[in-house]
Amino acid sequence: MTEMTDDPISGERSAPAEAAATFQEGLARYRQGDAVEAHVLFERAFRRAPADAIMMSWYGLTLVLVEKNSNLGVSLCDQALRLVGPEVELLLNLARAHLALGQRERAVKAIMRGLSVAPLDPALKAAQVAMGWRRRPVFPCFGRSNLLNRWLGKLRHRWSRRIHPVPTATPMTLGLLPDPLLNDDPLDRGS
């Protein structure tokens, strides 16, 4: 395997540096909601640096989102996790891929695994809130199927969503935190 080096005369960049720049551009496109263009950029970055677990995971995610290639996409996300171990970003990508495939239970398991590794990570906490975990019954001694628990649980759920609205969990937005550099809210004065 030959690796290109920086050449000031021809202006060529090394393959890993070019892959990283392409990957960063793809990540920006993904955050803007353009999964198709992000997929093209992630594929290009992954082809230039196939051993990079993060690029592999993002490419796997967009394979599921854009090309609907669930087998290869999820296997790339899993392979990235096997390469470097449980990292928050990789587990979130796996959860996003499972959510895109309608496998909510597997997505929840990936998020729970991430929370066991990094319990205070804000992206995982946001994903947990967006997925909507089941809460304890209002009266644990009666059980979940008790009519009183079901009615009070629904009431608690309505009130909590009214007070603290939560965006719906979609594969494109699961675990993404707002970028402070892109905050265009004129009422936000940094308080």
Q: What confidence tens digit (pLDDT) does each residue in 4-53 have?
A: 444 443 334 456 889 999 999 999 999 999 999 999 999 999 999 999 99
Measuring CA to CA, how many Å separate 107 from each of 90, 178, 188? 12, 21, 33
Measuring CA to CA, how many Å separate 21 from each of 16, 17, 133? 9, 6, 37
Q: What six digits make up the tokens of 45?
A: 């970055």
What domains can be seen in the chain, in order of their start residue?
A: 15-177 (1.25.40.10)
Q: What confidence tens digit (pLDDT) does each residue in 166-176 have?
A: 556 678 778 77
pLDDT at 183: 45
- Which pairs from 162-168 meet CB under 8 Å and 24+ separation? 166/129, 166/130, 166/132, 167/130, 168/130
> What is the rounded distance in angstroms from the CA atom of residue 39 to the CA atom of residue 35?
6
pTM above 0.85, yes or no: no
Write the burial class of residue 18 (CB in 10 Å: 0-12 exposed, 13-18 middle, 19+ buried): middle
Write the burial class of residue 146 (CB in 10 Å: 0-12 exposed, 13-18 middle, 19+ buried): middle
Phi, psi of 68, rounded to the nearest 5 degrees? 60, 30
Q: What confidence tens digit (pLDDT) does each residue in 63-92 have?
A: 999 999 999 999 999 999 999 999 999 999
Of 113, 101, 104, nearest to 132 (Cα)? 104
